[in-house]
A and B are shown apart, each in its own frame.
Chain A
Amino acid sequence: MPDIERELRELATTVVVPEPPDVRAAVRARIETPSPSPVRPVRLRWVAAVIAALVAATLIASPQARAAVAHVFRFAGVDVQWGSNADDAPVVPESPLPGAEPTDLTAAQAQAEFEISVPTRLGDPDRVIVADDARVVSLLYSRSGRPIRLDEFDGRLEPIFLKTVDAMAVPTPLEGDLAWWLPGPHTVRYVDRDGVVRDETARLAASTLIWESDGVSFRLEGNIDRAEAIRIAESLQH
């Protein structure tokens, strides 16, 4: 049988592709006009705020935490910031996620750019919320009256996820990757695909497991112990 890869390359030559446009003049006209970009100054201000937050976090962190910062810094686009309490953190506007709306799994998947994962251990969620132009999908559960929440963030384009926690994060192995177990409520800050920084305050005053898989960042919140959180995380399926 002929090699399938060769066949695909041959197929590429027989597939109809429209003529590419000549965009040189249009592009040139646009790049020679200074961009009226209201986004950029805002973004720079945010970048400055994030840097300030990290510096502050490093200064106030315990020696133990300080040693861990370098590791955490590169983890899955997720930055973890320590402070003795939330007042130590720089001002974080408590805006809700933009455009949050209730939906169901099928509709959420149709909107989201990433594959939504469902933990088989929890089964189908009781409620699904999409937010921020479907960049964040939240699966909500109630188990014996206790809420469990799984937030899935479209983690492409190197998002920063800035969390303020008042206790030490515990590195936790998860199927070969690393997850972080964080006791206590926290604010999450992430950067969406267009480079705009978004804040999400903690929804549940509960423990959290955060990890990354296949370009998507996850945050699991609930009054569950670490072992249970890991079991839930490991049961994720697209």
Chain B
Amino acid sequence: MTTEDAEAVQRAQDGDPDAYEILVARYTAPAHRLAYFLGAGGDADDVVQEAFVKAYRALPRYRAGAPFLPWLLRIVANETKNAVRGRKRRERLATRALDLRPADEPYPQVAEAERRRVLLESLRSLAGKDREILVCRYFLDLTEAETATTLSLPVGTVKSRTSRALARLRARLDVEVLDA
């Protein structure tokens, strides 16, 4: 955790709303990104707001020195589940969230664009649990330990599921490339 985070958390714990606002501003983007990719859909904004309020109220239980972001993201992940009840519904929203931006260039590299499309398609086809881990690791750039905290999983599970999911993606891409 950065020193700035530690200071802001400490001051927020002492009841300084300005300090907490610094944390809110700093971490709204990753919180929102996680909620969106975990299937919060149209509720993502509300989830973020609710998570920050809950995190503030949970600050007395926050362990000094622990990294703030994964602690917050764990609340976001749980809040997403509270907001969108039903695993299937969330799964649907989470897969729908994986969508490519229209190409910026008028003539994108066809092979590259195709490969990206296949990768995204493979990512969508993964089991939700595996996809959530890859989203944390590669879309939010979290470490294995941060991912474990965020998703309330043991680090060993994050490791094993990551390698299993990556192997599946590789296999899928190889097939598509051979077919092409």
A residues with a Cβ closer than 8 A to B are 1, 4-5, 7-12, 14-18, 20-24, 26-28, 30-32, 35, 37, 109-113, 115, 156-157, 193-194, 214-215
A31-B56, A214-B153, A214-B157 known; A14-B100 Cβ under 8 A: yes
Determine how close the nearest CB of chain B comes to the CB of A26; give it in whole angstroms: 5
Q: Tell whether, in the assembled complex, residue A16 and residue B100 are in contact, meaning their CB atoms are under 8 Å apart.
A: yes
Chain A residues, CB < 8 A from B139: 8, 12, 15
Min CB distance, A110 to chain B, in Å? 5
How many residues does chain B have at the interface if contact means C-beta atoms less than 8 Å apart?
Answer: 49
Chain A binder among B2-10, B62-70, B80-88: B80-88
Contact B52 A112 (CB under 8 A): no
Known interface pairs A14-B100, A35-B57, A109-B87; A9-B24 also in contact (CB < 8 Å): no
Q: Which residues of B contact A14 (CB under 8 A)?
A: 100-101, 116
Q: Select B81's contact among A24, A110, A113, beta carbons within 8 Å.
A: A113
Q: Which residues of B contact A37 (CB under 8 A)?
A: 57
Q: What residues on B are CB-neighbors of A10 within 8 Å? A: 116
Contact B138 A9 (CB under 8 A): yes
User: Is B14 located at the chain interface by the 8 A CB criterion?
Assistant: no
The residue from A1, A11, A18, A35 contacting B116, defined by CB atoms under 8 A apart: A11
Residues of B within 8 Å of A113, CB to CB, are 81, 87
Q: Are B17 and A17 in contact (CB under 8 A)?
A: no
- B141, A9: Cβ atoms closer than 8 Å: yes
Alpha-carbon separation in the docked complex, A112 to B29 (Å):
28
A32 to B18, CA, bound (A): 11
Known: A14-B100, A157-B152. A21 touches B17 (CB 8 A): no
Docked CA distance A162–B157 (Å): 26
- Give Cα A9–Cα B137 distance, bound, in whole angstroms: 9
Contacts of A31 in B (CB 8 A): 17, 20, 53, 56-57
Q: How far is the CB of A212 from chain B (nearest CB, A)?
A: 10
User: How would residues 164 to 180 of chain B score, 1 for a CB under 8 Å from any chain A CB and 0 otherwise?
Assistant: 00100110011000000
Interface of B is mostly: helix
Contacts of B45 in A (CB 8 A): 21, 23
Q: Which residue in B86, B152, B153, B166 is a CB contact (below 8 Å) of A4? A: B166
A31 to B53, CA, bound (A): 6
Bound CA–CA A27/B28 (angstroms): 11
B104 CB, min distance to chain A CBs, angstroms: 9
Q: Closest CB-CB distance, B51 to chain A, in whole Å?
A: 9
Q: Which of A8, A18, A30 contacts B119 (CB 8 A)?
A: A8
Question: Does A27 lie within 8 Å of B53, measured CB to CB?
Answer: yes
20 contacts between A and B (CB under 8 A): A7-B115, A7-B119, A8-B119, A8-B139, A11-B119, A14-B101, A15-B98, A15-B101, A16-B99, A21-B28, A21-B44, A21-B45, A23-B45, A23-B49, A28-B20, A30-B49, A35-B57, A110-B86, A193-B78, A215-B152
Chain A: minimal CB distance from B96 (Å)? 11
In the complex, chain B residues 113-139 whose Cβ is within 8 Å of any chain A Cβ: 115-116, 119-120, 123, 129, 134, 137-139
A18 to B87, CA, bound (A): 22
Tell me whether B154 and A112 are in contact (CB under 8 A).
no
Least CB separation from B45: chain A residue: A21
Q: Chain B residue with minimal CB distance to A212?
A: B154
**Chain A contacts for B87, CB-based, 8 A:** 109-113
Within 8 A of A (CB), among B22-72: 24-25, 28-29, 31-33, 36, 44-45, 48-49, 52-53, 56-57
A5 vs B116: C-alpha distance when bound (angstroms): 13
Query: Which 4 A-B pairs rank lowest in CB-CB distance, beginning with the nearest?
Result: A8-B138, A20-B32, A21-B45, A156-B152
Q: Is the CB of A214 within 8 A of B154?
A: yes
User: In the bound complex, do residue A23 and residue B48 qualify as a contact, i.e. CB atoms below 8 Å apart?
Assistant: yes
